[in-house]
Structure 1
Amino acid sequence: MTPRPHAVNIYCMDSRDALLQAAAEEFARSGLKGTRVREIVERSGVNERMIYHHFGSKEGLFRAVVEREFGGMGQAWRQAMAEAAELEPYEGVRLAFCTLFDLVHSRPLLVPLAMQEGLGGWGVRPPLPADALPAELRDLHERGVEAGTFRADVAFEVLYATAVMTLMGTPAMAGRFPAVLAERDMTQLRDQMVALLLDGLTGGRR
């Protein structure tokens, strides 16, 4: 008996999701070049031909994994930026930084995948030019400088890069310092890290 069309579609959707999840774990651990298709197939329980059906190649699967991981985070990040833009500069920047930390912490594969993507030369997500940084956060920074809340000698680009590297790296590296970080409540850790960033931005005046 020929399978009903909708049954085939459901299987295709399930197999695609299973491949994306399994591949994310393998790529995060071994990178694009170090991951074998057989390992993804074994982890997902999906026939190998479905990789080529859905993604065309292992490289296409890697691209889909990276885009899904960053894309899901990006949507939540944009929502937070819209909320932060309505606040006073200090509170708006604090909300943005706290949200970034929370988003990364809730996606344990994000940083390993970003590291693998970086080692591969950022082929899927090219480096960001300065004019592509969040406009809402830039505006908060400018308003804070004008109001005297933020230091004028800290360029926005430096602030943004420092915050991203610090807040994305901390959840990933917590296990390296178990006595200091891994056993600490993540909300408390987040608030302390954000406070350190804001102290640097305000010169400790607040």
Structure 2
Amino acid sequence: MPDGPARKETPLSPRAAATRQRILDAALAEFAEKGLAGSRVDEIAERAGANKRMLYAHFGSKEELWMVVLERAYAAKRAEEREVEVQHLPPGDAMARLVSFNLRYTARHPEFVALLNQENLHQAAYLRRSEDVPALYSPIVDALRGVLARGVAEGVFRQGVDPMQLYISILALGHFYVANRHTLSTIFGAPLDTEAAIAAREAHITDVVLGYLRP
């Protein structure tokens, strides 16, 4: 079980910052492929064109590197979420855009799905350590709250929908699809990671969500 505070980042020279970034990129790829337990520091270092001493100097341990990679993965998604503009759209179109964003982001970033699956196997032990957890709160929950309120006011959405529960449902409908795309493709005998397949899934999820919200 991890313990102790997260390591603080300090200003780095351009060369050191570039090395650190290469290590993070290599670690993301390695962790997504093999998980925390299956990844090896020497393999991450080799993939980054660095050495183990350099990796430990920047991150202290494999576990600390995992936590930084996880935080950055969340932060990257949250940054894109903040760019999703829905205030000017009618409630139904706004909800469809939020559904589309989540599915499309997940489909573009299967490594994010892999990291989350791994962290759940560890019962969020590393995420709970993070001092950045409050910043990882999804802005889309607030966007959903606003869209729901407008939809209720305009009579196109029913009342009493919990934004957090709706957010989790939207995530689940996309996350399961991407996380299980290989087995589902094999079972159904059709590739589910093509643009056509993702578009069909997007349309289905949108219909499910808007059908649930109908008064």
TM-score (normalizing by structure 1): 0.80
Structure 2: gaps of 5 or more residues: 1-11
Q: Following TM superposition, by how much is the alpha carbon of 1:65 offset from its aligned partner in structure 2, in angstroms?
A: 0.8
1:86 and 2:88 matched: yes
The residue identity in structure 2 corresponding to 1:112 is: A
1:143 and 2:150 matched: yes
The residue identity in structure 1 corresponding to 2:157 is: F
Note the 1:32-71 alignment, pairs <5 A: 32-71=36-75
**Quick one: which of 112, 133, 152 aligns to 1:110?**
112
Structure 1: gaps of 5 or more residues: 1-7
Note the 1:98-137 alignment, pairs <5 A: 98-126=100-128, 134-137=141-144
Secondary structure in 1 matching 2:127: coil
Secondary structure in 2 matching 1:19: helix
| Paired residues of 2:103 and 2:202 also in contact (CA < 8 A) | yes
Aligned residue number for residue 8 of structure 2: none
Secondary structure in 1 matching 2:82: helix
| Paired residues of 1:28 and 1:112 also in contact (CA < 8 A) | yes
CA gap 1:86/1:188 in 2 versus in 1, 3 angstroms: same
1:22 and 2:26 matched: yes
1:202 and 2:214 matched: yes
| Paired residues of 2:23 and 2:45 also in contact (CA < 8 A) | yes
Moved over 4 A (4+): none
The residue identity in structure 2 corresponding to 1:111 is: V
Mean Cα deviation higher: 98-107 or 192-201: 192-201
CA gap 1:183/1:92 in 2 versus in 1, 3 angstroms: closer
Q: Following TM superposition, by how much is the alpha carbon of 1:122 offset from its aligned partner in structure 2, in angstroms?
A: 1.6
Q: Following TM superposition, by how much is the alpha carbon of 1:183 offset from its aligned partner in structure 2, in angstroms?
A: 4.7
> What is the RMSD of the two structures over their aligned residues, measured on CA atoms?
2.4
The residue identity in structure 2 corresponding to 1:121 is: Q
CA gap 1:32/1:157 in 2 versus in 1, 3 angstroms: same
Aligned residue number for residue 95 of structure 1: 97
| Paired residues of 1:32 and 1:116 also in contact (CA < 8 A) | yes
Note the 1:167-178 alignment, pairs <5 A: 167-178=174-185
**Quick one: which of 151, 154, 167 aligns to 1:160?**
167
Q: Following TM superposition, by how much is the alpha carbon of 1:10 offset from its aligned partner in structure 2, in angstroms?
A: 4.0
Secondary structure in 2 matching 1:84: coil
Question: Per-residue displacement from partner, 1:77-116 (whole Å, max 9, x unpaired)?
Answer: 0110xx1123222111111111111112221200000111
| Paired residues of 2:99 and 2:205 also in contact (CA < 8 A) | no
Q: Sequence identity, in percent?
A: 30
Distance 1:23 1:141 in 2: 39
1:191 and 2:191 matched: no
The residue identity in structure 1 corresponding to 2:33 is: R
User: Does 1 or 2 have the higher relative contact order (CA < 8 Å, sep 6+)?
Assistant: 2
Secondary structure in 2 matching 1:79: coil
| Paired residues of 2:106 and 2:178 also in contact (CA < 8 A) | yes
